């Protein structure tokens, strides 16, 4: 946690942690209370046997915010965290003031071959080899050298090395595999939100993407932008899949613009019911007339 003011929750992606949000959090903490949790099975959180679905992660965040006395917040999610943030909204719409999706999962089937292969049987052994201390140290060194030379791939290599380091232990690897398989299989992403994005109508929404993203295609973000009435779409030419690490100033500025130029949504149960019925009432009326 950092800062004071209206709460902003930053939800990290798969095999990432709250540390990945540090630079963005520091840039928002002058006016906002920033909360960046480690999802269960990630970072410094425990790695229990149990439910690693998007809904389970969203429920844990709800419990965390309740324990902190935070009733409503702006939700920001990167990659897997974008899926968690969306499910959080579906489950607890009255607790969400705004939504920001950064290179988000859950908006289409396509995903990198690396993630698809990691969801296959036997992946744990390959992950164990990749997470070996010598391998991650070499990746971190290569990333630093590439960044020194001005090569954008360096940030991604450092992020991957940082993410793989905690997976050296069997508990963390199992948590990663369970989280991955909850959303990805050999065909791509298993969970999609496109048919529910209409529910974000009236909720200030930002969709942000790195133009060089090869993990999740930028076309997913464009499709979501078209599906969410009034949403904002921002791209970062120099960023790939980790804008919060690659261009933290630009991402923080986009988030600040969303926060400062919009009024928070305030959905109650009646408004949520009306929103749901607005999409489904017409077919029911036709059925009733026919009957």
Kindly report the pTM of this predicted structure: 0.80
Among candidate residues 12, 42, 241, 244, the one labeled active-site is: 241
**Stronger pLDDT, 227 or 151, i.e. the higher one:** 227
- The pLDDT value given to residue 118: 58
| Tokens matching residue 290 | 């026919």
Check whether 174 has a pLDDT greater than 80.
no
- The pLDDT value given to residue 14: 82
Q: Is 241 a catalytic residue?
A: yes
Work out the average pLDDT over 204-227.
94
Q: What is the pLDDT of residues 58-86, one digit of tens each?
A: 999 999 999 999 999 999 999 999 999 99
Q: Is 53 a catalytic residue?
A: no
Q: Is 79 a catalytic residue?
A: yes
Among candidate residues 79, 103, 165, 231, the one labeled active-site is: 79
**Stronger pLDDT, 42 or 88, i.e. the higher one:** 88
Assign domain 7-110+189-290 to its CATH superfamily.
Alpha/Beta hydrolase fold, catalytic domain (3.40.50.1820)
Q: What is the pLDDT of residues 16-25, one digit of tens each?
A: 889 999 999 9
Confidence of residue 275 (pLDDT cuts 50, 70, 90): confident
- The pLDDT value given to residue 290: 36
- The pLDDT value given to residue 284: 37
Average pLDDT of the chain, as a whole number? 83
- The pLDDT value given to residue 288: 37
Among candidate residues 103, 213, 225, 231, the one labeled active-site is: 213
Work out the average pLDDT over 206-235.
94
């Amino acid at each position: 946690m950092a800062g004071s003011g209206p709460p902003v929750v930053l939800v990290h992606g798969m095999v990432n942690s709250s540390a990945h949000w540090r630079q963005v959090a520091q840039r928002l903490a002058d006016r906002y209370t920033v909360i960046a949790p480690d999802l269960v099975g990630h970072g410094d959180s425990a790695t229990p046997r149990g439910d690693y679905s998007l809904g389970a992660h969203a429920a844990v965040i709800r419990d965390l915010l309740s324990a902190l006395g935070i009733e409503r917040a702006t939700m920001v999610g990167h990659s897997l965290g974008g899926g968690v943030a969306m499910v959080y909204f579906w489950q607890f719409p009255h607790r969400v003031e705004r939504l920001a999706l950064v290179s988000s999962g859950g908006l289409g089937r396509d995903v990198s071959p690396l993630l698809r292969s990691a969801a296959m049987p036997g992946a744990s052994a390959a992950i164990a080899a990749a997470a070996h201390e010598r391998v991650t140290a070499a990746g971190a060194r290569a990333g630093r050298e590439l960044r020194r030379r001005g090569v954008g791939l360096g940030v991604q290599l450092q992020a991957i090395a940082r993410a793989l380091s905690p997976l050296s232990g069997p508990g963390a690897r199992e948590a990663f595999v369970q989280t991955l398989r909850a959303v990805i299989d050999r065909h791509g992403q298993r969970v999609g939100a496109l048919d529910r994005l209409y529910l974000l109508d009236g909720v200030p929404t930002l969709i942000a993407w790195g133009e060089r993203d090869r993990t999740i295609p930028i076309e997913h973000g464009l499709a979501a932008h078209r599906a969410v009435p009034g949403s904002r779409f921002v791209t970062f030419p120099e960023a790939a899949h980790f804008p919060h690490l690659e261009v933290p100033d630009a991402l923080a500025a986009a988030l600040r613009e969303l926060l400062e130029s919009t009024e928070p949504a305030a959905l109650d149960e009646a408004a949520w019911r009306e929103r749901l019925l607005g999409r489904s009432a017409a077919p029911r009326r036709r059925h009733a007339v026919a009957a």
